[in-house]
Amino acid sequence: MTSTQPLASLRKSSLPGPDDITRREMENGITLLIRPNFNTLSVTVSGYLMAGSLYEPLPKMGLANFVSSTLMRGTKDHSFQEIYNRLESIGASLSFSGGTHTAGFSGKSLGADLDLLIETIGETLRRPTFPGDHVERVRSQLLTSLDLRAQNTSEMASLAFDEIVYKGHPYQYPEDGTPETASTITRDDLIGFHREHYGPREMVIAVAGAVEPDKALETISNSLGDWHNPDQPAVQTVPPAPPLEKTERRHYTIPDKSQTDIVLGVAGPSRLSPDFYAAKIGNSVLGQFGMMGWIGEAVRNKAGLAYYAYSSVSSSMGPGPWTVSAGVDPDHTEQAIQLIKQEIKRFLDQPVPEEEFADSQSSYIGKLPLALESNAGVAGSLLNIERYQLGLDYFHRYEEMVREVTPQDAFRVANAYLDLQRLGIATAGP
């Protein structure tokens, strides 16, 4: 990688901060974060509540995701078609998603139509009816998605990796379940999960765009302020993931494929760990910066063995994966794995050169304004501030935090997590 001139310092006055983020805690446990932006006519509302796959029984894997997929299929107030007609009439959008820790939602409308958007969010969260015919339609869609997943070399390699590295850990299991579990989930299961786990406690909503904070607070309070669920269980946390005792490999065979996908790595630091930034910035050199870092340069550009090759450190409340992913010709699988290991060894043998590390830091810092260009980007970032308790001044401190990380910090953290003798290596292909 060639050296670049350091990027100019971030202009803090343009970044969200304590002076323009309104944070309020409602009496029923909902936390609101609002950042007005009248340079646009639209507004984005995003949020999450503690109803992810961690809370479902293993025989019903995929239940949490199933519930989130059926929330908009009908409520006590409106049918499926009526819900979509109301949103379409104002050019608004709304969707729900399932995750490991949380169920999430995101909607967009004109600022003038925020009342209807919030009303629809409240209605679908609080009063879904899970109509039987729509439950079966969603089930059919989910089963089709799972069938497609089983033919996707990248996704199956990732699932196999999780089974190796997170064996006996909650992160071992896929959020969308399996065809077997999805087939056994009943409408009563959906109703029961919603009744127990959907509620305002620890719920977070972020609003960004053309709305005054007081107006957003009033609108959300009208729709959700009287919501209570005394049956909501305590928030679940996840344990550390012990490192493997030795390198373990697994191959998932998918006949007639022309590509093998590789996922190789370990369980890394959680987003809350003091090691996270050193891992994230060091990893940028290893497999992100420029043309996919050292790994992309060695495996893809020089050796020509991979269609893609990069590394990543994932953000999570628990021990997120630190992985290298590559797509290769099946005949080149072993050679590509060996080259990846060589680059990891180089990364572990000595700290990254100062100039190269500084270039990566500048790139990392320079991406922040791009992530905050849209209302959706701001709303998502506000949710992360609350999720990981980063503080309302997080974006103002961001550049300093990144610059404080040294090559020696990255070297220390890499050697604390990455171990060439204790890797999980998963492949999927012919």
Given a cut of 90, is residue 12 above it in pLDDT?
Answer: no
Domains 13-224 and 248-429 share a fold: yes
Domain ranges of the chain: 13-224, 248-429
Quote the CA–CA distance of 415 and 402 in Å, as a whole number: 20
Give residue-wise pLDDT tens across range 357-384: 999 999 889 999 999 999 999 999 999 9
Given a cut of 60, is residue 86 above it in pLDDT?
Answer: yes
Position 191 confidence tier, pLDDT thresholds 50, 70, 90: very high
Q: List beta partners, residue 23.
A: 33
Give residue-wise pLDDT tens across range 393-422: 999 999 999 999 999 999 999 999 999 999
- For residue 48, the surrounding DSSP H or E stretch is strand 42-49
Quote the CA–CA distance of 71 and 87 in Å, as a whole number: 15
- Is the separation of the CB atoms in 398 and 10 below 8 Å? yes
Q: What is the DSSP letter of 206?
A: E
Quote the CA–CA distance of 349 and 354 in Å, as a whole number: 15
CATH of 13-224, one of 3.40.50.10320, 3.30.830.10, 3.40.605.10, 3.30.420.40: 3.30.830.10
- The predicted model scores a pTM of 0.93
Give residue-wise pLDDT tens across range 284-317: 999 988 778 999 999 999 999 999 999 999 989 9
Q: Name residue, tokens 């590394």.
A: 311
CATH topology of domain 248-429: Cytochrome Bc1 Complex; Chain A, domain 1 (3.30.830)
Mean pLDDT for all residues in the chain: 95
